[in-house]
Amino acid sequence: MSKTKIEQRYIDEHPESLSRYNISKHLFPNGVTHDARRLSPFPLYVTQAKGSHKWDVEGNKIIDYKTGHGSMILGHSHPDIVKSVHDAMNLGTQMGSSTDMEIKWGQLVRELVPCAEKVRFQSSGTEAVMMAMRLARAFTGRTKIIKFDDHFHGWSDYAMAGGSGLGGIPQETLDTMIVLPPNNIDLVEKTIKENDIAAVMIEPTGSHMGLHPIPPSFLHQLRDLTDKTGVVFHMDEVVTGFRISKGGASKKFDVIPDITTLAKILGGGMPGGAVAGKSELINLIEFQNDADFNQNERVSHPGTFNANPVSAAAGAKALELVRDTNVNDKADQAAGKLKKEMNELLGKMEIPGKVTGHGSLLFVRLGVDFEVEDDGASFELTDSQWNIINHSERNSQLHLALLNEGVDPMSNGTRLIVGQEHSDQDIKDTVLAYEKSLTEIRDAGLI
């Protein structure tokens, strides 16, 4: 199959990445260590990152909008985080005992997160969601959990229900999950009445960080309904926690769930996850003076690297910086400027579409003109309009074109995760990169 001009330029300009891919494809499935890092014809390899930039193995400086899959709102290699990690490593990376730093980390979570009466640390967002689902089932004595179409909650067997890549998951496991379309509170209520529902879990800005947005009003409806029916309300803030506001989407939208899951920014760039919530839920992990309870009702939770000293040090410092500085405002302001200038660019180029999103989570929606609510993120589209926006060939070519111009977005050129270090010059260069890339996409007949 012949290469497009965009693909050929990428191949020609990234020979060192290609040479590494020729090794890694024999080591790892698809040659990568995370599904989202797949890229055709081959992935980009990087050597270092600082602030809002990273450098590939060719030495090209790239404006980074992956920001560590959303973890690096503070910027790459923040000096305070680096020092905290260095100091912690000098003291020991895994002592198999409790530490002062885990107390500090937990206190910061409780201070910032509205529902966090108690906290338990894990090593990832996937683990945190697994724990939250178990706690909800144990607390209610019920078995089934409602999730929403295309909402991502990690790769555990239960959380993958309704998604793709279901190999190896027993149908009996999938049958304990009920996947519903969002924004239909009557359907949720009907489902709760007719089934043994332990919890409702949701990404509070919509699926995949807000790729398919939901109005904040739906969160309030869910909170009211779960209160009324005794169902656990679980807001998964792995991405939005400490980003949408210092207290996450819960604080921003004034909705307090029973339980929340956290990761990414929580760890300050190191592996870390947490489940936080009402004491009566989290305390199901506690041992009691009751052998039968400990055997059959308590929620067991080991984990060698739970609250390990290095992640605790990085996470505690990151949350201190979130609490004590204007990191959220700076990231939001940079994203707001980028959103405005990108929408102006689409207008100037007469390309249908719009850049939308809450705060520092931006989405480039191409091919369709539509109206957005006052929050800048919520809107409604038909299935055919979504098909146009999610045009895979166009978006994958856009991603390669942007890499050729020194910009690395998330999700095939259509998602930009902004941090506090993105400067006015970064924004100017990003808009120029999009202008050049969209011109190439148009010349290729894809828009």
DSSP, res 70: G
Residue 289 has pLDDT above 90, yes or no: yes
Which pair of tokens denotes residue 110? 């409780």
Residues 150 and 283 in one domain: yes
List C-alpha distances in Å: 64 to 32, 45, 81.
Answer: 19, 13, 19
b/e map of 51-70 (b: 16 or more CB within 10 Å)? bbbbebbeeeebbbbbbbbb
Domain count, the chain: 2
Which pair of tokens denotes residue 207? 């699926």
- CB distance 33 to 43 below 8 Å: no
Residue finishing a domain among 290, 324, 358: 324
pLDDT category of residue 376 using cuts at 50, 70 and 90: very high
Residue 159 has pLDDT above 80, yes or no: yes
Q: Distance between CA 138 and CA 146 in Å, rounded?
A: 16
Q: Distance between CA 184 and CA 181 in Å, rounded?
A: 7
Residues 35 and 181 in one domain: no
The predicted pLDDT at position 2 comes to: 86
Residue 219 has pLDDT above 80, yes or no: yes
The predicted pLDDT at position 31 comes to: 94
Q: What's the CATH code of the domain at 296?
A: 3.40.640.10
Residues 191 and 247 in one domain: yes
Q: Distance between CA 117 and CA 138 in Å, rounded?
A: 18
Q: Distance between CA 276 and CA 1 in Å, rounded?
A: 51
Q: Which amino acid is at 268?
A: G
- CB distance 249 to 267 below 8 Å: no
pLDDT category of residue 193 using cuts at 50, 70 and 90: very high
Q: What average pLDDT does this structure show over 206-233?
A: 96
Q: What average pLDDT does this structure show over 341-365?
A: 97
The predicted pLDDT at position 413 comes to: 84
Residues 15 and 141 in one domain: no
- CB distance 196 to 142 below 8 Å: yes
The predicted pLDDT at position 324 comes to: 98
The predicted pLDDT at position 412 comes to: 84
Among candidates 129, 195, 136, which has minimal Cα distance to 158?
Answer: 129
- Half-sphere exposure of residue 334: CA atoms within 13 angstroms, side-chain side: 26
Q: How far apart are the first and last CA of the chain?
A: 22
The predicted pLDDT at position 200 comes to: 98
Residue finishing a domain among 324, 347, 364: 324
Residues 133 and 256 in one domain: yes
Indicate the burial class of 90 (C-beta count within 10 angstroms; 0-12, 13-18, 19 or more): exposed
Residue 156 has pLDDT above 80, yes or no: yes
- What residue numbers bound the domain in which 46 lies? 5-75+327-443
Residues 97 and 204 in one domain: yes
Beta bridge partners of 118: 277
Cα 187–chain centre separation: 27
Torsion angles phi and psi, residue 410, rounded to 5: -85, 155
The pTM (predicted TM-score) of the whole model is: 0.96
Residues 221 and 360 in one domain: no
- 53: left (phi > 0), else alpha (psi -120 to 50), else beta? beta
Residue 1 has pLDDT above 90, yes or no: no
Residues 85 and 172 in one domain: yes
Q: What is the pLDDT of residues 390-428, one digit of tens each?
A: 999 999 999 999 999 999 999 888 999 999 999 999 999
Sheet of strand 415-417, all strands in order from the earlier edge strand to the far edge: 353-356, 361-366, 415-417
In the chain, % of residues over pLDDT 90: 98
Torsion angles phi and psi, residue 52, rounded to 5: -100, 10
Residues 104 and 241 in one domain: yes
Q: What's the CATH code of the domain at 63?
A: 3.90.1150.10
Residue 30 has pLDDT above 90, yes or no: yes
Q: Distance between CA 260 and CA 237 in Å, rounded?
A: 6
Residues 53 and 99 in one domain: no
Q: The dihedral of CA 102, 123, 127, 67: what is its sign?
A: positive
Residue finishing a domain among 324, 350, 369: 324
Residues 317 and 351 in one domain: no
3-state SS, residue 356:
strand
Among candidates 403, 317, 419, 253, which has minimal Cα distance to 88?
Answer: 317
Residues 138 and 66 in one domain: no
Q: What is the pLDDT of residues 434-445, one digit of tens each?
A: 999 999 999 999
Q: What average pLDDT does this structure show over 214-236?
A: 97
Q: What average pLDDT does this structure show over 216-227?
A: 98
Q: What is the pLDDT of residues 72-130, one digit of tens each?
A: 999 999 999 999 999 999 999 999 999 999 999 999 999 999 999 999 999 999 999 99
Q: What average pLDDT does this structure show over 47-63?
A: 97
The owner of tokens 């660019």 is 345
Residue 324 CB coordination number (10 Å): 9
The predicted pLDDT at position 411 comes to: 80
